[in-house]
Amino acid sequence: MTQVLKAKLGSLLTTVYPDLECDGLADQLLKTMGLEPDQPPPQAHQNNWDEADVVLITYADSVKQADQKPLATLHQFLRDCLEDSVSTVHILPFFPFSSDDGFSVMDYLAVNESHGTWEHVEAIAADFKLMADLVINHMSARSRWFENFRKRVDPGKDYFFEGNPRDDLSAVVRPRTSPLLNPVQTEDGERHVWCTFSEDQVDLNFANPQVLIEFAGIIRQYLEHGVIVFRLDAVAFLWKEPGTSCIHLQQTHELIKILRLLIEHHSPSAVVITETNVPNRENLTYFGNANEAHVIYNFSLPPLLINTLVTGNCRHLKTWLMSMPPAQIGTTYLNFIASHDGIGMRPTDGLLSEEEKQRLINTMDSFGGKVSYRRTADGRDQPYEINIALYDALKGTAESGVDHWQFQRFICAHTVMLALEGIPAFYIHSLLATENDLERVENTGRLRSINRSQWQLDKLEQTLADPLAHHSKAFHELKRLIAIRRKQPAFHPNATQFTLHLGLQLFGFWRQSMRRDQSIFCIHNISNEIQQVALSDINLIGTDEWVDLISGMTIDDQSGSITLKPYQSVWLSNRE
């Protein structure tokens, strides 16, 4: 057989490293991954997901219990409470770390002893698809690699990106306000290392191909421990060239193609997800030509959906949805409305006006939220994200403040997310309707801690068993909606989607199964007032019988109308 894989790999490597002899580099990467040069390719345009796929996002220690490793406690909670609801578990970085709640990794190949062991990780991977972070842009300043960088020895000597304070770095796109270059003392004297995120998170130097080889080895280890979904953290910043924006550079895209090529030849059912918290048009480029990310985060959804629900106006959400291209078969979106980070504001660029952004910020501030900033090229500090728990983000409206519709608004947000094209992902604290943790913010000094609470398992079990607790009500209603969603072919992540035009207080879209045998009209009252929907406006097929999958209501008169209470949703389907 011809060496097809090696030829593809060599071509990509030559684009990234035009001055290197890439034939030998390709051999090294294939050997590191345990691949043959003629390894057969996976099936092209294959969907490694379906309508039953639902993701849970959690820290290893989001649920804790005395005298038990958190990963074991998490596994117990997953089996007892979520085995019938989620297919994939994204455990946020569970490695030894020095800061940023795990995203400043000290050792990529070890499990944080306080969380558990690789055996605990593998046990979860045996019951669920396991998603893990490949924290690929930067590493802890307290890691062995960085200690070796200081000592000028390998491995590590040339693994970190260095900058020159005299270079023009004014065009560099920053997600933070901290200094970009930090001086460090080494055996060779003072050097300035590049720190996109913080002084403790030093950017890796992929211009050194040995770093790429190291990550191929890391990826293989993860695969062998049961990881099947790879989240490429902060990957947009991977390649740096002074004088440029240092974001989305072509070499970054080529490196993602290389990583995908290696991963999917090793494990054809594996999935690569890029985490790129950037404006929508930029985000879409990470699909490539169905040869980069299998899945991209729908980063514009959280701020737009929250803005819709607190203003009672879906104009911007509808405009955005109409502009979203259907994902090619073999690619899809990851839909989420809350995560361990805040509500990103950059993904609203070009979608909300500056006045609308400020109104959203002011509203979230009045609900107990905080704002994190980034520094622009001209030295101004711009809002980067809003830090707030989703349950509290929806406690009222921009116009009237806190009201009594918080629970309904919260469920409506998730009902929208569950029905959209793509795979739905629930952050654990949204699934549990956890509120702002202001005490944790005070204890850590970090704004993101507002949405990084930790539950004691016995307390959580008591709360979920209490029918009067809003946590219990939300958890069980969301599980009910998930169970409905998982049975509908029209909710396949790649099923057809069209936006409906029902005014500004009704947000609607139509989904049709890939076999065209099921249609679902998803209609959501995103206002705090009763709304009427004329069924003639949505063109139900007259020969079919229609039922609302959520309430069980049947449509007897297709010339009539339905009434939606504030924040009520319907999923009108022609099959149950």
Q: Which of 51, 28, 154, 192 is nearest to 491 (CA)?
A: 51
* R_g (Cα) of the chain, nearest Å: 24
CB atoms within 10 A of CB 464: 20
Residue 13 CA to residue 145 CA, distance in Å, equals 24
Q: What is the 3-state secondary structure (H, E, C) of 124-167?
A: HHHHCEEEEEECCCEEECCCHHHHHHHHCCCCCCCCECECCCCC
Exposed/middle/buried for residue 120 (C-beta within 10 Å: 0-12, 13-18, 19+)? buried
Residue with tokens 């069209």: 498
Q: Tell me, rounded to whole angstroms, the distance of Cα 257 from its chain centroid.
A: 19
DSSP states along 405-459: -HHHHHHHHHHHHHHSSSEEEEEHHHHTT----HHHHHHH--GGGGG---EEHHH
Q: Which of 153, 161, 91 is nearest to 127 (CA)?
A: 91
Residue 233 among the catalytic residues: yes
Cis before 279? omega within 30:
no
Biggest CA pair distance of the chain: 82
Residue 376 CA to residue 171 CA, distance in Å, equals 9
Structure tokens at 364: 């979230």
Residue 319 CA to residue 11 CA, distance in Å, equals 39
CB of 455 closer than 8 Å to CB of 61: no
CB atoms within 10 A of CB 65: 19
Q: Helix, strand, coil shares of the chain as percentages rounded to 5?
A: 35, 20, 45
Q: What is the 3-state secondary structure (H, E, C) of 322-385?
A: HHCCCCCCCCEEEECCCCCCCEECHHHCCCCCHHHHHHHHHHHHHCCCEEEEEECCCCCEEEEE
Bridge partner list, 129: 88
Residue 132 CA to residue 230 CA, distance in Å, equals 6
Residue 283 DSSP code = H
- Catalytic residue, chosen from 61, 233, 392, 548, is 233
Structure tokens at 158: 């040339």
CB atoms within 10 A of CB 530: 12
CB atoms within 10 A of CB 98: 15
209-224 and 250-266 helices, crossing angle to 10°: 30
CB of 387 closer than 8 Å to CB of 371: yes
Q: Which residues are catalytic?
A: 233
